[in-house]
């Protein structure tokens, strides 16, 4: 059975992506935003140029302003001086220098909530339902900080993160959109909400107030305790570490735990992103996951080809199928320990895929005898895949466990003989 048949088709078309950048010292975009925007800007240059264009931005702004006026009641500073004073505090904390306008959505059927209506030259916040009555003063500041943090993200670094969001949203709505782009759009939205929660924390310096505001918006309750909910999230996460299944917003328990991580000194950004994303699944790759798994696959093929006996015509053709134009590395420099760490961070579906890759190369050349299998068993042990690979080899090759144990013990001798024969 071929690993080529089992690998995600998306992996085969993975583009060269920039590695995620480190979190800036300032309050900046999350690494996920930076990496995705970087890929789209270079890999989808024509689309990026269109969504970034001033003409498109002007059309977008005009449309949004008209729809906003049709569907809301505009609150003035004279109407709500206290609310505007809090909005000014949030604007200042986030380093935003632009006018803010608060709108109340028409209609009484909305749940309590709020949303930023992005306009480049105005911070427009739309309140929904009875949100103004539900939150305390500190929780209201957290709410405003959250919404205004969206504006900060969308105007950071020349507006590239807003351009990326619009491009991904458009792609996801197109018939036949690549699954990796849909998954990227989903994860991008989830990380955007985490960034906004981080903004609320930045504005209030009060983890519990931010968490309480989220609970109240989600439940409609007027009295909640953030600390007790954090205990509840710990119970959930003890049994569920799969990441968020949300489409536009992470689940409440994930957002609460993320705020707990972000409130640490220093903020635990990496753990937060891992909490939201979960482990990378072979059947659910975003564009960054494609790159990660493709890069790891290439490193594994390089490792396999380090021995002369593995560089025959059969193996070369197989490597070409995985990576068109493939040539063995002149000086292989794979760090098996580092690869083991990378692999441990992937989901089991990726482990299965990599194990099938190993098995493909182990069995592709009929002249190898058992040297190829011996070498792949040895390599699987070095990179933390032995348990998965050994079980796969036993099943697919109809071999007994003791046979493979004996083969692994004698791997060095078989590899040496095969290299000498090559």
306-323 confidence digits (pLDDT tens): 999 999 999 999 999 999
Residue 59 and residue 144: Cα distance in Å, rounded?
Answer: 27
pLDDT digits (tens, 9 = 90+) for 244-299: 999 999 999 999 999 999 999 999 999 999 999 999 999 999 999 999 999 999 99
Residues 273 and 363 in one domain: no
pLDDT above 70: residue 90: yes
Specify whether the CB–CB gap between 415 and 365 falls below 8 A: no
pLDDT above 80: residue 6: no
Position 331 scores a pLDDT of 67
**Nearest Cα to Cα of residue 147 among 80, 184, 101:** 101
**Nearest Cα to Cα of residue 101 among 59, 61, 128, 73:** 73
For 313-331, the DSSP string reads: HHHHHHHHHHSTT----SS
Residues 155 and 197 in one domain: yes
Report the run of H or E that residue 72 belongs to, with start and end. Answer: strand 72-75
Residues 328 and 382 in one domain: yes
Q: Helices (DSSP H) in 207-306: which residue ranges?
A: 207-219, 226-239, 252-262, 269-277, 287-304
Q: Domain range holding 336?
A: 287-421
Q: What is the mean pLDDT of the segment spanning 33-46?
A: 96
With vertex at residue 65, the alpha carbon angle to CA 61 and CA 66, rounded to the nearest 5 degrees, is 120
pLDDT above 80: residue 169: yes
Residue 193 and residue 189: Cα distance in Å, rounded?
Answer: 6
Count each helix (H run) and each strand (E run) in the chain, helices first: 22, 4
Q: What is the DSSP letter of 364?
A: S
pLDDT above 90: residue 27: no
Specify whether the CB–CB gap between 10 and 292 falls below 8 A: no
Residues 297 and 382 in one domain: yes
Specify whether the CB–CB gap between 99 and 148 falls below 8 A: no
Beta strands in 112-240 (DSSP E): 113-119, 122-128
Confidence of residue 216 (pLDDT cuts 50, 70, 90): very high
Q: Is residue 148 part of a domain?
A: yes
Residues 62 and 199 in one domain: yes
Residue 362 and residue 350: Cα distance in Å, rounded?
Answer: 18
Q: Is the bond preceding residue 415 a cis peptide, omega within 30 degrees?
A: no
Residues 265 and 315 in one domain: no
The residue among 277, 297, 328 that closes a domain is 277
pLDDT above 60: residue 23: no
Specify whether the CB–CB gap between 201 and 149 falls below 8 A: no
**Nearest Cα to Cα of residue 216 among 226, 203, 206, 207:** 226
Residues 233 and 366 in one domain: no
Specify whether the CB–CB gap between 267 and 256 falls below 8 A: no
Q: What is the mean pLDDT of the segment spanning 44-67?
A: 88
Number of structural domains in the chain: 2
pLDDT above 90: residue 53: no
Q: Residues 3, 186, 179, 168: what is their CA dihedral angle, to the nearest 10 degrees?
A: -130
Specify whether the CB–CB gap between 329 and 336 falls below 8 A: no
Strand partners, 19: none
**Nearest Cα to Cα of residue 41 among 166, 149, 152:** 166
Residues 126 and 148 in one domain: yes
Q: Is residue 297 part of a domain?
A: yes
Specify whether the CB–CB gap between 301 and 284 falls below 8 A: no
Q: Is residue 22 part of a domain?
A: no
Residues 314 and 377 in one domain: yes
With vertex at residue 191, the alpha carbon angle to CA 347 and CA 29, rounded to the nearest 5 degrees, is 120
Q: Of the ranges 121-125, 214-218, 317-321, 327-331, which one carries the lowest mean pLDDT score?
A: 327-331
The residue among 247, 277, 307 that closes a domain is 277
**Nearest Cα to Cα of residue 133 among 216, 66, 230:** 216
Task: Label the pairing between strands 72-75 and 100-105.
Answer: antiparallel
Residues 399 and 292 in one domain: yes
Residues 260 and 384 in one domain: no
Residues 344 and 374 in one domain: yes
Q: Is residue 26 part of a domain?
A: no
The residue among 208, 242, 277 that closes a domain is 277
Q: Is residue 16 part of a domain?
A: no
Q: What is the mean pLDDT of the segment spanning 332-342?
A: 87
Please state, rounded to an integer, the average pLDDT across all residues of the chain.
91
pLDDT above 80: residue 403: yes
Report the run of H or E that residue 74 belongs to, with start and end. Answer: strand 72-75
Q: Of the ranges 53-62, 226-235, 405-414, which one carries the lowest mean pLDDT score?
A: 53-62
């Amino acid at each position: 059975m071929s690993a080529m048949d089992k690998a995600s088709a998306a992996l085969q078309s993975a583009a060269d992506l920039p590695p995620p950048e480190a979190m800036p010292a300032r309050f900046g975009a999350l690494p996920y935003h930076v990496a995705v925007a970087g890929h789209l800007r270079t890999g989808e240059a024509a689309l990026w140029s269109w969504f970034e264009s001033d003409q498109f931005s002007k059309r977008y702004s005009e449309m949004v302003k008209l729809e906003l006026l049709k569907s809301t009641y505009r609150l003035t500073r004279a109407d709500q001086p206290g609310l505007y004073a809090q909005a000014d505090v949030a604007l200042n904390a986030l380093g935003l220098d632009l006018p803010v306008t608060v709108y109340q959505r028409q209609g009484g059927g909305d749940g309590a909530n709020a949303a930023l209506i992005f306009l480049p030259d105005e911070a427009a916040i739309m309140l929904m339902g009875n949100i103004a009555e539900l939150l305390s003063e500190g929780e209201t500041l957290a709410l405003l900080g959250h919404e205004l943090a969206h504006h900060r993200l969308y105007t950071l670094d020349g507006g590239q993160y807003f351009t990326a969001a619009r491009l991904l949203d458009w792609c996801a709505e197109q018939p036949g959109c690549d699954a990796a782009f849909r998954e990227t759009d989903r994860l991008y939205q989830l990380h955007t909400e985490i960034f906004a929660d981080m903004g609320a924390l930045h504005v209030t310096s009060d983890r519990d107030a931010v968490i309480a505001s989220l609970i109240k918006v989600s439940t409609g309750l007027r009295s909640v305790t953030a600390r007790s909910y954090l205990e509840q999230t710990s119970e959930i996460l003890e049994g569920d570490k799969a990441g968020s299944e949300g489409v536009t917003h992470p689940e409440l328990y994930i957002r609460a735990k993320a705020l707990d991580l972000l409130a640490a000194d220093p903020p635990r950004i990496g753990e937060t992103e891992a909490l939201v994303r979960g482990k990378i699944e072979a059947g659910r790759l975003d564009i960054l996951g494609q790159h990660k798994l493709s890069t790891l696959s290439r490193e594994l093929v390089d490792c396999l080809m380090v021995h002369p006996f593995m560089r025959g015509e059969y193996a070369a053709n197989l490597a070409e199928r995985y990576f068109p134009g493939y040539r063995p590395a002149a000086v292989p420099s794979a760090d098996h320990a580092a690869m083991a760490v990378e692999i441990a961070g992937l989901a089991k579906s990726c482990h299965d895929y990599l194990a099938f890759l190993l098995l493909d190369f182990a069995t592709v050349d009929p002249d190898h005898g058992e040297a190829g299998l011996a070498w792949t068993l040895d390599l699987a042990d070095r990179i933390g895949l032995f348990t998965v690979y050994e079980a796969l080899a036993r099943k697919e090759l109809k071999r007994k466990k003791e046979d493979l144990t004996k083969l692994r013990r004698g791997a060095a001798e078989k590899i040496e003989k095969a290299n000498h024969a090559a």
